[in-house]
Every structure is written in C-alpha cells, then in structure tokens.
C-alpha cells in the first residue's frame, strides 16, 4: 500500500509537469505564428504629388494582408506654401517653402502634417500610424520671379513603414 501511495505522489506531479510543459510549447508556437502573420512586411516607396493630388499607399494594405480598397491609407498634398523671396524682389527675410499633407486612414480618421527642410521649427520627416513620411525633394527648385505666377510644384515623398531601414 505504501508503494501505491508513493507512486501516486511521484507520478501525478510528474504527469502534471509534463502536461504543463506541452501546453506551454503549444501556446508559444501559436503566439509566434500570430506575430509572424500580423507583422507588416517592410516597404519603402517614393511618390510624386502635385498640389491637390493624392495617392493610395498600397504597400501598407498589402503588408497587412488586407484588400487595398479597404485598408490602404490615402495621402493628399493639400497645399504648397512658398514664402521665399521672389527673384528680383527686395525682402527682409529669405522665407521658406513648406508642404501640407492630409493622411486619410482606412477607418475614416485623418491626420494632417507639414514637411519642410528649412521652415523654422519645421521638419523634413514625420511618422503617422506606423508610416514614415520623408520629404525627398521638389521641383522646380528655382524661386519664381516677383511678377510670375506660382509654379506647379511636384513634391517627392518617401513613404515607408517604421520597420523598414
């Protein structure tokens, strides 16, 4: 009888420990599978926009594994503000050029941001909802003459997810 009780005291805890270890192994592989599937694939894309133009950030949707129509954010160049001193004009300060963007998210919300490489307190890059937006350049670079109309600017913008290099 002592042997039976002794077996139960040893075998039952050992069996419980083995089952707990098996459960932990199964749970860990399930969590790793979820992380692997839900982690967005790295991407970097450069877009060229004109004032009023918009673009669908398609890699963001495909990285998340959803359809582009439902899950892709839309970026729009709302405004170009060019306060640089016009060629041939006498100015007190040099001025700057900045670009105002609106980002519409798949859930219907929106966020706005301004990019500039020389505006006071401005920044050439910003991060919104896991996406990094960096000003890559614009054309024309030349400042228009004092009596000329504002040019049709083309803005290059590098977009990547924050996991990308």
CA atoms of 114 and 94, how far apart (whole Å): 19
Task: Check if the beta carbon of residue 111 is closer than 8 Å to that of residue 117.
Answer: no
* Domain co-membership, 137 together with 100: yes
The tally of domains found in the chain comes to: 2
Range of the domain at 21: 1-39
pLDDT of residue 96: 93
Same domain? 56 vs 111: yes
56 and 127 co-located in one domain:
yes
Same-domain check for residues 10 and 49: no
pLDDT averaged per 10 residues in sequence order, the chain, 165 residues: 60 61 52 47 91 88 52 92 89 91 92 92 90 94 86 94 64
Residue 46 structure tokens: 């450069």
The two tokens of residue 100 are: 């105002």
Q: Of 131, 138, 137, nearest to 154 (Cα)?
A: 138
Phi then psi dihedrals of residue 60, to 5 deg: -65, -35
Are 28 and 64 in the same domain?
no
């Amino acid at each position: 009888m002592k042997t039976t009780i002794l077996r139960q005291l040893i075998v039952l805890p050992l069996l419980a420990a083995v089952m707990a270890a098996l459960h932990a192994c199964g749970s860990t592989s399930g969590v790793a599978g979820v992380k692997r599937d839900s982690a967005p694939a790295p991407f970097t894309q450069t877009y060229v926009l004109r004032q009023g133009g918009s673009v669908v950030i398609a890699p963001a949707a495909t990285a998340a594994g959803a359809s582009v129509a439902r899950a892709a954010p839309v970026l729009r160049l709302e405004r170009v503000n060019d306060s640089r001193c016009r060629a041939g004009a006498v100015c007190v300060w040099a001025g700057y050029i900045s670009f105002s963007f609106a980002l519409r998210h798949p859930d219907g919300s929106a966020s706005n941001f301004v990019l500039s490489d020389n505006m006071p307190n401005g920044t050439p890059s910003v991060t919104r909802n896991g996406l990094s937006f960096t000003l890559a350049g614009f054309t024309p670079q030349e400042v228009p003459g004092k009596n000329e109309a504002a040019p049709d600017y083309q803005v290059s913008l590098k977009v990547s997810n924050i996991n990308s290099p």
